[in-house]
């Protein structure tokens, strides 16, 4: 049984390791947008499939028996394509999506917004020194902020021109509370803008904001596609994949 694992996340990498350990052939699929530090265990293919039809053709040609979509919670397009292609081909699909930050006790104190433009408006009401932690592609929507200090943290430097008032910090998580607290305090951050990426890997900035009383603006996740089973842990996804053997 070959499992196609749509990846680009720590969870996908962890699941690949567990599947390989269990003797399951796995093909990791990466978009190729960011250079991986190390490749995940198992076979690796890099680059888009060419839309829904391309993915459906790939599933047929490679005789893929199960698909686990372990892409980032905000990677909505590939998630939608996976749902459509798997339904068309009749390939079982599971969505692995790390737990949302909605379950955190401090989540009710944040400003939850539907999208990036709404995040921009909300942040402008809350403060003028911004910690922008939304990923480098989404950050481009905030470049109208040429009149304020913005600390932009990204895994890889942005491809767009950054306003002079911005500071770019290229760093890869995980981050710890002490360092996040020091960063927010040192840059005199007045508002944190982020997306509900979820999980623990990048959550320390939220703990730091809570400790320092910094208001938080959070973009809600796109909805999961209808009819697709969703699990939150690597263990559950492993159990599902192994049950298909
Ligand atoms: N969005 C985020 O905030 C974020 C954060 C961390 C990591 N990532 C990872 O980065 C990748 C790209 O994210 P995105 O938000 O740009 O995705 P997206 O908007 O959902 O997808 C855009 C296109 O990229 C291709 N693609 C995306 N993920 C792929 C994968 N795992 N394997 C093969 N092709 C893939 C597909 O191209 P075709 O239509 O040609 O097949 C898709 O239509 C994802 O794999 C995701 O897990 C995203």
Residues 199-233 pLDDT 10s: 988 999 999 999 999 999 999 999 999 999 999 99
Q: Whose CA is nearest to atom 42 of ligand 1?
A: 78
Binning pLDDT at 50, 70 and 90, where does residue 245 land? confident
Whether the per-residue pLDDT at 7 is higher than 80: the answer is: yes
Q: Which two tokens stand for residue 136?
A: 């480098």
Domain segments of the chain: what residues?
A: 3-99+222-243, 101-219
Task: State whether the beta carbon of 173 lies less than 6 angstroms from ligand 1.
Answer: no
Rounded to 10 deg, the angle between the 76-89 and 51-61 helix axes is 50
Q: Where are the beta strands (DSSP E) in 34-148?
A: 43-46, 66-69, 93-96, 111-113, 129-133
Binning pLDDT at 50, 70 and 90, where does residue 95 land? very high
Topology at the third CATH level for domain 3-99+222-243: Rossmann fold (3.40.50)
Residues 14-49 pLDDT 10s: 999 999 999 999 999 999 877 777 899 999 999 999
Say which CATH class 101-219 falls into: alpha beta
Question: CA 72, CA 12: separation in Å to the nearest integer?
Answer: 9
CA angle 81, 82, 86 (to 5 degrees): 120
CA of 78 to the centre of ligand 1 (A): 6
* β 66-69/93-96 pair status: parallel
Question: pTM of the full predicted structure?
Answer: 0.95
Task: State whether the beta carbon of 101 lies less than 6 angstroms from ligand 1.
Answer: no
Q: Given this chain, do its domains 3-99+222-243 and 101-219 carry the same CATH topology? A: yes
Question: CA 77, CA 60: separation in Å to the nearest integer?
Answer: 20
CA of 73 to the centre of ligand 1 (A): 10
Q: Are 223 and 102 in contact (CB under 8 A)?
A: no
Task: State whether the beta carbon of 29 lies less than 6 angstroms from ligand 1.
Answer: yes
Tally: H helices and E strands in the chain: 8, 12
Whole-number average pLDDT of the chain: 96
Q: Where are the alpha helices (DSSP H) in 22-172?
A: 51-61, 76-89, 116-126, 136-139
């Amino acid at each position: 049984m070959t499992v196609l694992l749509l990846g680009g996340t720590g969870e996908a990498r962890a699941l690949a390791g567990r599947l390989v350990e269990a003797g399951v052939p796995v093909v990791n699929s990466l978009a190729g947008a960011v250079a991986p530090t190390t490749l995940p265990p198992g076979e690796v293919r890099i680059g888009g499939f060419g839309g829904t039809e391309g993915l459906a053709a790939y599933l047929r040609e490679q005789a893929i028996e199960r698909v686990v979509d372990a892409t980032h919670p905000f990677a909505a397009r590939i998630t939608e394509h996976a749902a459509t292609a798997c339904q068309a081909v009749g390939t079982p699909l599971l969505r692995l999506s790390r737990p949302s930050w909605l379950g955190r006790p401090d989540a009710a104190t944040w400003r939850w917004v539907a999208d990036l433009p709404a995040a921009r408006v909300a942040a402008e009401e809350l403060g003028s020194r911004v910690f922008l932690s939304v990923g480098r592609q989404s950050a481009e929507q905030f470049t109208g902020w040429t009149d304020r200090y913005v600390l932009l943290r990204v895994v890889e430097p942005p491809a767009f021109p950054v306003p002079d008032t911005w500071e770019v910090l290229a760093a890869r998580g995980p981050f710890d509370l002490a360092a996040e607290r020091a960063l927010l305090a040192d840059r005199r951050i007045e508002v944190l803008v982020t997306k509900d990426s979820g999980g623990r890997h990048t959550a320390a900035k939220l703990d730091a904001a809570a400790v320092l009383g910094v208001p938080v603006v959070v973009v809600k996740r796109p909805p999961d596609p209808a009819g697709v089973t969703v699990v939150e842990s690597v263990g559950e996804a492993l159990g599902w994949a192994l049950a298909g053997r």
